[in-house]
Chains A and B, each alone.
Chain A
Amino acid sequence: MSEKKHPDNKERVGVYVCHCGTNISKVVDVEEVARWAGEQPNVEVSRDYKFMCSSLGQELIEQDIKEKGLTRVVCASCSPHMHEKTFRTACERGGLNPFLFEMTNIREHDSWITDDKEAATIKAKSLVRGSIDRVVHHEPLDQIPVEINPNTLVVGGGIAGITSALELADAGYHVYLVEREPSIGGHMAQLDKTFPTLDCSACILTPKMVDVGQHDNITLLTWSEVEQVDGFLGNFTITVRKKARYVNEEHCTGCGICIEKCPFNVVDDIFEAGMGTRKVIYRPFPQAVPKYPVIDKENCVYFQKGKCKACEIFCPTEPNSIDFEQEDEILQIEVGNIILATGYDLFDVKRIPQYGYGKLENVFTSLEFERMVNAAGPTDGKIVLRDQETKPKSVAIVHCVGSRDENYHKYCSKVCCMYSLKFAHLVHERIPDAEIYDCYIDMRTPGKGYEEFYNRLLEEGTHFIRGKVAEITDAARIPEEEGKLIVQVEDTLIGRQRRVPVDMVILSPAMEAREGSKEVSQLFKMGCDFDGFFIERHPKLDPVATMTDGILIAGACQGPKDVPESVSQGAAAAARVAGLISRGTVMMEPVRASIDQDACSGCRICNNMCPYNAIIFHEEENVSEVITALCQGCGTCVAACPSSVITGAHFTNDQLLSQIEGILWDMRPEKVTA
């Protein structure tokens, strides 16, 4: 510890250098940094301590504030993303405004990136000096209270969104659930069985869907899309386009006669994955929620040719529920929080031409197979080849289609091993004498009951081939291959290339981010990664929050996930929102911009800097103003202002320029020898 008082000091700064066990101290000479810090201008006291984040470490700060009258505190330890809040709170307990604290990162940015002790110690000193010089210019700030509107928007009616909506609605809060398809249910509604329990997917999902449809606290907006998002945590205004169904929801009883009478069938590319057909006026599936059908305008003969109206003619309701004049509705809803549960797309297997999908008719995708094995599906649950009748005697299942692949997605799609195993099981169950080849790179079965399920498949006699499939072809080389699909794969366990002739191939494509997820992330002003998945606030500790306050994410829009994980996230996001609502008011970081109205010349450079439209121009007074509640604190306008009359609280020019000077303390001419 070092104590030294400068008579001309403007502030009394306490500097605390953390050993972090040995995480910092094994590379950085923390005692030396603390000793040296004591000699720096404005420093009243400097100490080093084993664990600053421990309660004893925090008490050191509190005590010094009280006993030594510290006016500023610097803690050199880990990343501010780790413990800034901890130390701010400690300062507050000591009676110091939390914003009079500055954190120096000498662990992640220093001791962990080098073993050069001398360089690391010099760097630590520079960073500490930067913080000392910066903190002297800090100003006490008050957090900004924001009232939370108790209504919540949930975007996406898959299992994650359904869970979020029900959790919140059951807690007594109102939810707007927006789904772009005519029914909620999402991908889960298309699945036959869920692994590893082999529950009937629809049987466990539909009760929840019905709950959503009937819940007093849920406004269900299907066949609707969010068009605009304004506002901020606590007070968002959402513009929703409710697309015309051409069916009047007030009058329609959902009897389904219109569907029955509609004379036209079209291929159902969405729900039936192209395996079946639907009518032009349709419900995606029998258990759809809501029950109201929708007219597919593109394929409707009345809309295209002006004749037919069979649906209208046969509609039994009074007044008639068919409304060809219906138009899109634009709704504005006010919510306090938003949960995004927009789900995933499946990788387009046509992108891997050597797997033959689309060219070789008996190559199926996982979703096609799901529909095929579903008792309510196009083949009534029979596993047959594309000819709709021949039972395959041999089936190959190909893992990692588009995932774990440098050319497509590098990530592991996480659920494919398990659903591939489920497919193998279903084939065994329906065609007991079929030979099943399961081609995998690595078998990934981490989850409750998952490894056991794999063992079950081993016992059921599935042939597991460890290797990435190179090609699927119908070009036979030997008589046994004639008329078959040949799966070319290197079996890495026996170290040989194999050609496996089969009747049917099922591709297990990766889950990938929704097409247009980038646009969605921009609409909601939050981040998405290279793959298009939304970025969580912290990958470990905050997986359902995003960097944007008030916007949460749940389910596969954040990354590949199975049903239980999506459900957990849906519930977690709801719990987070419920917590905010029950508090009523939340405190926001006061890192905001403000314009000195007396000094603003009205040049209007800043006017279109703000992505949140927080800057408005007053014609009369000829000045610009930042609406504090809309400002997110990025500081772009502060940097742009040619007059320097915009101040970015907690990131002021004085603070940053002083930090630059401090961080370069050893580069001043009189100190440079080189």
Chain B
Amino acid sequence: MANNEKPKLAMYWSSSCGGCEISVLNIHEHILTVDEVFDVAFFPCIADFKTKDVEAYPDDYITVCLWNGAIRNAENEEMAHLLRKKSMFMVAYGSCAYEGCIPALSNLTSKEATYNTVYKDNPSLDNPDGIIPKTSVKVAEGELTIPEFYHTVKSLDQVVDVDYYLPGCPPEPPQIWAVLQVIVGALLEGTPLPPKGSIVGVTNVAVCEECDLEKNEKVISRFYRPYEIVPEPGICLLDQGIMCMGPATRGGCEALCPSVGMGCRGCYGPMPGVEDQGAKMLSAVASVIGAGNENMEEAEIEAEIQAVVDTIADPAGTFYRFSMAHSLLQRAKVNGSNGKGEA
């Protein structure tokens, strides 16, 4: 990059909802600074760029690429490799890019089942011939191809090298601004960069620390789904049996969700030193189940615990809502062999 040129910014979305793109606007007037500091090199959501434009850039031409979205199909992966090659800093922006997020929950099922739901079983669907996408179709005019839909959704760092992570669904404005500042500062003023792999704009303490709700010793005798209960104000949601991932989730969001009566969903990901956010939250929640004690018969203990466990409708979806792709098992074992080993 020549000294008189502005740094180049790219933002790309892969498998995601689009909220991350919009979140950039949440930095309000700072967006003007962004515009002042950066040249936009690639940002399909706001301006018409073509892949070939990016391909034409020299390597490392883009200063910073904010990548949001998970890797769902071959196109996502291809673009990730391309942008990685063309960018100095690859930032996994938002939970999907960081650890799979909602798209990765489809790892609980198979590609075929996803297709069936979307293209065959959906009640609002009109697809009498049961056509499902194929990577290649021969038509009179020749062969048509679309990118392959993967069996397993991956996070960005599972396909390319990532420099920084910006968790959040979507990331909060101070974080966004923080990561841009860090890079701009390094480029323009030579301030040191955080070590590669840093998670930016977060704290090293779980959300509970930022949450003002009153927490007590926990004994939970049943869990409630959000529609089943009106939380008592001022009291820790988990104490009330409302699932809140706060204890197992990195802070930095100022406990936004719990402060408005909604349990933390866990979008900032696991605490440092945790291998698997879902397993840790599962362990914590199960530990404080108020059922069974050492003076009871085993069958009685089991029955009591089971009754509480039954009130947690979807443990995998709850505990891995954001971190499925980064979890230890990463996906469910699904196949036609019914788990009997050999197909």
- Residues on A lying within 8 angstroms of B by beta carbon are 518, 522, 598-605, 607-609, 617, 622, 636, 639-645, 653, 657
Which of B23-31, B113-121, B148-156, B278-286 is the contact stretch? Answer: B278-286
With a cutoff of 8 Å between Cβ atoms, the chain B residues found around residue A640 in the complex are 283-284, 287-288
With a cutoff of 8 Å between Cβ atoms, the chain A residues found around residue B284 in the complex are 603, 605, 640-642
Which of B218, B247, B273, B288 interacts with A601 by CB under 8 Å?
A: B247
Q: Count chain B CB atoms within 10 A of each CB in A518, A599, A603 and give the residue with the most.
A: A603
Q: What 9 A-B pairs have minimum CB-CB distances, sorted nearest first?
A: A601-B206, A642-B248, A603-B247, A642-B284, A601-B208, A640-B287, A603-B208, A642-B247, A601-B209
Given contacts A601-B251, A640-B287, A643-B247, 15 further A-B contacts (CB under 8 A): A518-B295, A598-B204, A599-B205, A600-B205, A601-B247, A605-B247, A605-B284, A605-B287, A636-B287, A642-B247, A642-B281, A642-B284, A645-B273, A653-B273, A653-B275
Is there a chain A Cβ closer than 8 Å to B168's Cβ? Answer: no
Report if A642-B206 is in contact (Cβ < 8 Å); known contacts: A601-B251, A608-B288: yes
B221 to nearest A CB, angstroms? 13
19 A-B pairs in the complex with CB atoms less than 8 angstroms apart: A522-B295, A599-B204, A602-B209, A603-B215, A603-B284, A604-B217, A604-B236, A605-B247, A607-B218, A639-B287, A640-B283, A643-B206, A643-B271, A643-B274, A644-B280, A645-B271, A645-B273, A653-B273, A653-B275
Is there a chain A Cβ closer than 8 Å to B261's Cβ? Answer: no
Taking CB as reference atom, which chain A residue is nearest B280?
Answer: A642
A599 CA / B274 CA spacing, docked (Å) = 13
Q: Which of B202-227 contact A (CB under 8 A)?
A: 204-209, 215-219
Q: Are A602 and B208 in contact, CB atoms less than 8 angstroms apart?
A: yes
Taking CB as reference atom, which chain B residue is nearest A623?
Answer: B209
Is there a chain A Cβ closer than 8 Å to B241's Cβ? Answer: no
Q: Are A605 and B288 in contact, CB atoms less than 8 angstroms apart?
A: yes
A30 CA / B294 CA spacing, docked (Å) = 43
Q: Are B271 and A639 in contact, CB atoms less than 8 angstroms apart?
A: no
Is there a chain A Cβ closer than 8 Å to B246's Cβ? Answer: yes
- Residues on B lying within 8 angstroms of A by beta carbon are 204-209, 215-219, 236, 238, 246-248, 251, 271-275, 280-281, 283-284, 287-288, 294-295
With a cutoff of 8 Å between Cβ atoms, the chain B residues found around residue A603 in the complex are 206, 208, 215, 238, 246-247, 284
Which of A602, A653, A657 interacts with B215 by CB under 8 Å?
A: A602
Q: Are B281 and A601 in contact, CB atoms less than 8 angstroms apart?
A: no
A640 CA / B248 CA spacing, docked (Å) = 10
Report if A644-B247 is in contact (Cβ < 8 Å); known contacts: A522-B294, A603-B206, A608-B219: no
With a cutoff of 8 Å between Cβ atoms, the chain A residues found around residue B218 in the complex are 604-605, 607-608
With a cutoff of 8 Å between Cβ atoms, the chain A residues found around residue B209 in the complex are 601-602, 622
A352 to nearest B CB, angstroms? 25
Q: Are A639 and B283 in contact, CB atoms less than 8 angstroms apart?
A: yes
A327 CA / B147 CA spacing, docked (Å) = 86
A345 CA / B217 CA spacing, docked (Å) = 40
With a cutoff of 8 Å between Cβ atoms, the chain A residues found around residue B295 in the complex are 518, 522
With a cutoff of 8 Å between Cβ atoms, the chain A residues found around residue B236 in the complex are 604
With a cutoff of 8 Å between Cβ atoms, the chain B residues found around residue A657 in the complex are 275
B217 to nearest A CB, angstroms? 4
With a cutoff of 8 Å between Cβ atoms, the chain A residues found around residue B288 in the complex are 605, 608, 640
A644 CA / B274 CA spacing, docked (Å) = 6
Taking CB as reference atom, which chain B residue is nearest A519?
Answer: B295
A617 CA / B216 CA spacing, docked (Å) = 10
With a cutoff of 8 Å between Cβ atoms, the chain B residues found around residue A643 in the complex are 205-206, 247-248, 271, 274, 280
B178 to nearest A CB, angstroms? 20
Report if A604-B216 is in contact (Cβ < 8 Å); known contacts: A609-B287, A642-B281, A643-B274: yes
B248 to nearest A CB, angstroms? 4
A600 CA / B203 CA spacing, docked (Å) = 12
With a cutoff of 8 Å between Cβ atoms, the chain B residues found around residue A599 in the complex are 204-205, 271-272
With a cutoff of 8 Å between Cβ atoms, the chain B residues found around residue A653 in the complex are 273, 275
A653 CA / B275 CA spacing, docked (Å) = 10
A169 CA / B218 CA spacing, docked (Å) = 46
A480 CA / B206 CA spacing, docked (Å) = 87
Taking CB as reference atom, which chain B residue is nearest A657?
Answer: B275
Taking CB as reference atom, which chain B residue is nearest A518?
Answer: B295
A603 CA / B246 CA spacing, docked (Å) = 8
With a cutoff of 8 Å between Cβ atoms, the chain B residues found around residue A598 in the complex are 204-205
B272 to nearest A CB, angstroms? 8
A639 CA / B275 CA spacing, docked (Å) = 13
A385 CA / B128 CA spacing, docked (Å) = 97
B275 to nearest A CB, angstroms? 7
A587 CA / B247 CA spacing, docked (Å) = 35
With a cutoff of 8 Å between Cβ atoms, the chain A residues found around residue B275 in the complex are 653, 657
With a cutoff of 8 Å between Cβ atoms, the chain A residues found around residue B287 in the complex are 605, 609, 636, 639-640
A229 to nearest B CB, angstroms? 16
With a cutoff of 8 Å between Cβ atoms, the chain A residues found around residue B281 in the complex are 642
A641 CA / B277 CA spacing, docked (Å) = 11
A179 CA / B143 CA spacing, docked (Å) = 94
Q: Are B217 and A607 in contact, CB atoms less than 8 angstroms apart?
A: yes
Taking CB as reference atom, which chain A residue is nearest B238?
Answer: A603
A608 CA / B275 CA spacing, docked (Å) = 24
Q: Count chain B CB atoms within 10 A of each CB in A598, A622, A636, A642 and give the residue with the most.
A: A642
With a cutoff of 8 Å between Cβ atoms, the chain A residues found around residue B280 in the complex are 641-644
Taking CB as reference atom, which chain A residue is nearest B274?
Answer: A644
A551 to nearest B CB, angstroms? 17
Q: Count chain B CB atoms within 10 A of each CB in A622, A641, A653 and give the residue with the most.
A: A641
Q: Are A604 and B273 in contact, CB atoms less than 8 angstroms apart?
A: no
A505 CA / B33 CA spacing, docked (Å) = 104
A641 CA / B248 CA spacing, docked (Å) = 8
Q: Are B205 and A644 in contact, CB atoms less than 8 angstroms apart?
A: no
Report if A604-B215 is in contact (Cβ < 8 Å); known contacts: A609-B287, A639-B283, A639-B287: yes
A516 CA / B248 CA spacing, docked (Å) = 41
A74 to nearest B CB, angstroms? 24
A640 CA / B247 CA spacing, docked (Å) = 11
With a cutoff of 8 Å between Cβ atoms, the chain A residues found around residue B274 in the complex are 642-644
B172 to nearest A CB, angstroms? 18
A641 CA / B274 CA spacing, docked (Å) = 10
With a cutoff of 8 Å between Cβ atoms, the chain B residues found around residue A605 in the complex are 218, 247, 284, 287-288
A410 CA / B218 CA spacing, docked (Å) = 42
Q: Are A608 and B217 in contact, CB atoms less than 8 angstroms apart?
A: yes
A466 to nearest B CB, angstroms? 39
B85 to nearest A CB, angstroms? 28
Which of B215, B219, B272, B283 interacts with A642 by CB under 8 Å?
A: B283
With a cutoff of 8 Å between Cβ atoms, the chain B residues found around residue A522 in the complex are 294-295
A673 CA / B216 CA spacing, docked (Å) = 52
A672 to nearest B CB, angstroms? 14
Q: Count chain A CB atoms within 10 A of each CB in B274, B275, B281 and give the residue with the most.
A: B274
A603 CA / B204 CA spacing, docked (Å) = 14
With a cutoff of 8 Å between Cβ atoms, the chain A residues found around residue B248 in the complex are 642-643
With a cutoff of 8 Å between Cβ atoms, the chain B residues found around residue A642 in the complex are 206, 247-248, 271, 274, 280-281, 283-284
Taking CB as reference atom, which chain B residue is nearest A609?
Answer: B287
Q: Count chain B CB atoms within 10 A of each CB in A599, A602, A605 and give the residue with the most.
A: A605
A13 to nearest B CB, angstroms? 24
A279 to nearest B CB, angstroms? 38
